[in-house]
Chain A
Amino acid sequence: MRKIGIRVGLVLVVAAGAALAVPGGRDTARNAASFIGVVVDPPFRLQLGGPLWRDRSLRGGDGAQDFAQVARDEPLNLQVHGSRDARVAQVELRVDGRRERSVEPRCVPSGCPTSLSVTFVPRLRRLGPGDHRIELVARDSRARESRNDTAPHVSVVGFHVRTVARVPPTIEGNPVGNQPRVPDTAGLERSALRVLAAERRSPGLAQALGTSRVGVIFVGNLNVNGQRLGATMLVQLVPARHNVRATVPDYVPTTHRAGAPYTRQRVRMHAKALQDVLIDVDLSSQRVIAFEPGPRSETLSWSPSKAPAPAGAADED
């Protein structure tokens, strides 16, 4: 007979005091992480705890994972609670579907025990890094050696853990107070504006900028591998420009390590409104290498000569 109406409830209780609501001191954070899981899957009630249970992977409301990186074999505590009619004859640990260990308590003629506590230490270090499935199966004497997890007299609980070869070390630092001093960017701004002034009579930039004044909102480093190549600016056009058609400079990052970090290209642009613009200046070549409508501008068409979008956009957002 198949088990009808398996009732599985995952109940989280705090191991040492109700610590969730009240921020009460040093132990609060530790207690909040020390959950015990209770799974009711008749005929048994399974209670889980220990470091491996704490480090299991979880899923949030939007489906995204919350996981720990497990780099060592960690204990998993299990308590199986039955009743007079459901006595614990066997408890099995499975890792990725394979039986790793089986525990059979000593049973007497009057029957097996009604409860059992056991600590497993699944051998995870020998497995490759990644997500692994841990399952615990409890059976009474009528289901001993049954391979059917949904059969009556069998209770099952499972969860995932993520293993890694090594957890990166951490270095404890000192308390910090004030912010570091903000570096002066006036020199960088002057250099970038000089290059822009020299280039704004070129046909593309002349069409794009018209007679608008350029006001710098932000300026900072344009970097290659963390080293400054030039300047990047977000500028405001005063007055804002409308219905602008122009062919403007842009670039495509190159993927090879040696040689130029980018390839220049031209973009045919039609902007309904140009209020702000991102301008990149290569100070080594003294050229404007990018002119892109900013977040307060509205573009109607953008047609690059080489690439539809810069590399690297796929994992952004």
Chain B
Amino acid sequence: MIVALAMFAGGCGNPGARDAALHPPKLVRLSDRGPSFLAYDGDPNLNPNRRDWPVSIVFAGRASITKVKHALRAVGLTHVGYTHYLPYRVGGASVRFDGDSGLKSGCDDHGSDLHIRLYAPTATDRFIDPQFGSFVVGTTHIDHADGCKVPPTLFGFSEEAEQRIASLLAKRGWRVQRNHLALGNREPYRREVADPVHIWHSNGRATLITVP
């Protein structure tokens, strides 16, 4: 697989950076002729210090937002969350931002839930890549004490959330290839004092799930 990169000019780890990715966020492609997307979601801008979570799941094959969300609802992710945005670019067009509030599971006994946001061009409901087919990308994390149970509230653990969602969809019969795509968005386990509720953790290798 070839992952071509485009990098947004801008710093990372700047003083005052509260939600900065480890490295400047990058536009990545699944193949060299495919559309590109930022490897992180976040605020509706390109500010490298306002990122939320790294892309950790790619649904490919015959994926569309509608189809993947339908499957996720069927495995229990029926709640919605707060909207974030993922920048993307198709062909030579301008960079666009797709917003999604995502789908969440209900809270478990510990007060934790799974949250996944899915992104693709709204106009087509999917990206189209010559090698990977119709695909959508997802960011994942765990919300803890987010509107249920008792604080302390925490958000993060993307790697753990990625694995849990992959397991849920594997039970549906979808082909799951864990940690298959290197997207250059590794986030070692870390925390920023200015925003301690945000726990970064992702190995930078997205799980590839093939949608039939």
A308 sits at the interface (CB 8 A): yes
A257 sits at the interface (CB 8 A): yes
Smallest CB gap from B97: residue in A: A67
A220 sits at the interface (CB 8 A): yes
B76 sits at the interface (CB 8 A): no
- By the criterion CB–CB under 8 Å, are B82 and A223 in contact? no
| A309-B152 contact given A26-B130, A28-B130, A278-B199, CB 8 Å threshold | yes
B172 sits at the interface (CB 8 A): no
- By the criterion CB–CB under 8 Å, are A32 and B16 in contact? no
B133 sits at the interface (CB 8 A): yes
Q: Please indicate which of the listed interface residues A69, A182, A185, A229 has the most CB atoms of chain B within 10 Å of its own CB.
A: A69
- Which of B2, B98, B144, B199 is in CB contact (< 8 Å) with A60? B98
- By the criterion CB–CB under 8 Å, are A220 and B94 in contact? no
A residues within 8 A CB of B200? 220
| A23-B110 contact given A28-B128, A253-B196, CB 8 Å threshold | no
B168 sits at the interface (CB 8 A): no
Chain B 146-157 near chain A by CB (<8 Å), digits 1 or 0: 100111111101
Alpha-carbon distance A171/B36, docked complex (angstroms): 13
A76 CB, nearest partner CB in chain B, Å: 14
B residues within 8 A CB of A294? 144, 154
B residues within 8 A CB of A85? none
Smallest CB gap from A219: residue in B: B189
A residues within 8 A CB of B204? 179
- Which of B32, B46, B151 is in CB contact (< 8 Å) with A302? B151
B102 CB, nearest partner CB in chain A, Å: 9
Chain A 232-273 near chain B by CB (<8 Å), digits 1 or 0: 101000000000000000110100010001100000000001
Smallest CB gap from A171: residue in B: B7
Smallest CB gap from A56: residue in B: B123
A12 sits at the interface (CB 8 A): yes
A residues within 8 A CB of B65? 60-61
8 Å CB interface, A30-58 against B? 30, 32-33, 35, 54-55, 58
| A173-B4 contact given A68-B95, A297-B110, CB 8 Å threshold | yes
Give the interface size class of chain B: 35 or more
- By the criterion CB–CB under 8 Å, are A62 and B94 in contact? no
Alpha-carbon distance A193/B20, docked complex (angstroms): 27
| A225-B13 contact given A67-B96, A218-B189, A299-B145, CB 8 Å threshold | yes
Smallest CB gap from A296: residue in B: B110
Alpha-carbon distance A232/B198, docked complex (angstroms): 12
- Which of A32, A61, A221, A298 is in CB contact (< 8 Å) with B121? A32
Smallest CB gap from B134: residue in A: A23
Alpha-carbon distance A316/B81, docked complex (angstroms): 10
B83 sits at the interface (CB 8 A): yes
- Which of B35, B82, B111, B146 is in CB contact (< 8 Å) with A315? B82
- 8 A-B pairs with CB atoms under 8 Å apart are A33-B91, A58-B122, A62-B80, A62-B100, A171-B9, A176-B5, A219-B189, A261-B194
B contacts, CB < 8 Å to A: 2-10, 12-18, 20, 26-27, 32-35, 43-44, 46, 52, 65-66, 80-83, 85, 90-101, 109-112, 115, 121-124, 127-134, 142-146, 149-155, 157, 160, 182, 184, 186, 188-201, 203-205
**Nearest 5 pairs of A and B residues by beta carbon:** A226-B13, A64-B99, A30-B91, A220-B189, A173-B5
Given A23-B133, A226-B12, 19 more A-B residue pairs with CB atoms under 8 Å apart are A19-B128, A23-B132, A29-B34, A62-B100, A66-B96, A67-B97, A69-B96, A69-B97, A168-B46, A171-B8, A176-B184, A218-B189, A220-B189, A222-B191, A226-B14, A257-B16, A296-B110, A309-B152, A316-B82
A contacts, CB < 8 Å to B: 12, 19-21, 23-26, 28-30, 32-33, 35, 54-55, 58-62, 64-70, 167-180, 182-183, 185, 218-227, 229, 232, 234, 250-251, 253, 257, 261-262, 273, 278, 280, 290, 292-302, 308-313, 315-317
